[in-house]
Amino acid sequence: MHVWLNGRLLPSHEATISVFDRGFLFGDGVYEVVRFFNGMPIGMGLHTARLARSLSLTHIIGFDAQQLREICRALLEANQLTNASVYMQVSRGSAATRTHMPTKGMVPTVFACASACGAIEELEKPTTAACAVVVDRRWHHCNIKSTALLGNLLPMFESADQGAEEAILIRDGLVSEGTSTNVFAVVRGQLVTPPVETDPPILNGVMRIRLLEACAQAGVSCTVRPITESELAGASEIILTASRRMFSSVTTLNGNIVGGGTVGPIAKRANAALVARLRAECSMTSLGACASPPILAS
C-alpha cells in the first residue's frame, strides 16, 4: 500500500512521523474521510469546505484544504483503487520537544491513505446495526472533525459491553449524533434528524447532507428538529449515515427491537433515494487533473 505523507507517495512501511508530532502527543489535528465509487468522489466540495473550516477553527495554518482533491487522486492511482475511501489527517506539526503551547512557524504533518470499499451496487440493500444509548460527555466543539476522538471511543466501548456496534449519544435529553454517524428517526410516521447548528453543535456529515437532498428530490418528507431520548426509544425506524458506513437501519436499541427488527418502509425509500442521488453525482463528477504527476518514493 502507498500512502501520502508530506507531499509525496511512498510505501506505508517507509512512512515515519516524529515522536514529537502534536497529532501523536495531543491529538492536535483534524481529518476527513472521502468515499469514492468507480473513481468518483462523493461530496468532494463539502469535504474540502469542512476541512478548511476545521483547519481555521483549530488555527492550523500552512496547508490548503483544496489539495485534498489532488491527494485523493494520487492515492487511488497509486493503489489501483476505484471503490474506496480516503482518510486524510492534518496535524499541527512537530517541534523539538513536547510543549503544550505550539511554537510559531510549525509545518503541518499531512498524512493520507486509501482503502478498498464496496461498489455502489452494494448499497441497494441497506445494512443493519445494533445500537445503544450513551450519555454524550464529549467536548463542545463536535463540529470540528478533530483527530482527538477519545470522547467518541469511550461510548463505543460502553455500547460494545451491551452487545451493540454503535452508540447514539444523548445530551441534555436530546439526541446529538452517533460516535461516528449522524442519526435519523421515524417518529409518529415522520422522518426527522437533529439540527447541527445547536449549542453545542454536532458534525454536519456529508452523507447526512446527501440523504436530506435525496429525500427532498424523491418526495420523502424529512424534518430537521430536535429528537428527545423518549422519541428515539419509541421510534419505529432509526437510520445511521456516515461516509464509510453510508446508510444503516438500526434493528435494536438497548437490546430492544426497533420496529419489526428489519429495514423499515421509510428506510427503504430513503436508501433508494440516496443511492439514486449518489449514482447521479458519480456520473456528473470527476477528480479532475492533478497539477503535477504523483511523486513515488524510490
> Are both 133 and 243 inside the same structural domain?
yes
Which residues fall within 8 angstroms of residue 267, CB to CB, at 6 or more apart?
126, 186, 237, 239, 249
Q: Is the pLDDT of residue 100 over 80?
A: yes
Looking at every residue in the chain, the average pLDDT score rounds to 93
Average pLDDT in the 172-187 region?
A: 97
Indicate the pLDDT class of residue 12, thresholds 50, 70 and 90. Answer: very high
219: in domain: yes
> Are both 96 and 130 inside the same structural domain?
no
> Are both 113 and 131 inside the same structural domain?
no
Total domains in the chain come to: 2
Instruction: Quick: pLDDT tens for 222-262.
Output: 999 999 999 999 999 999 999 989 999 999 999 999 999 99
State the residue for C-alpha cell 512557524. Answer: 105
Q: Is the pLDDT of residue 289 over 60?
A: no
pLDDT at 292: 35
Average pLDDT in the 89-104 region?
A: 92
> Are both 147 and 186 inside the same structural domain?
yes
298: in domain: no
Q: Is the pLDDT of residue 298 over 90?
A: no
Count CB neighbours of 42 within 10 A. 22
pLDDT at 285: 54
pLDDT at 294: 39
Which residues fall within 8 angstroms of residue 164, CB to CB, at 6 or more apart?
130, 131, 132, 252, 254
> Are both 264 and 192 inside the same structural domain?
yes
The cell for 33 is 474521510
Region at 155 (left for phi over 0; alpha for psi -120 to 50; beta for the rest): alpha
Which one from 104, 125, 145, 268 is the annotated catalytic residue?
145
145 is catalytic: yes
> Percent of the chain, pLDDT > 70?
95
292: in domain: no
- Provide the residue range defining the domain that includes 272: 123-282
pLDDT at 103: 86
> Are both 104 and 36 inside the same structural domain?
yes
Query: Is the whole-model pTM more than 0.95?
Result: no
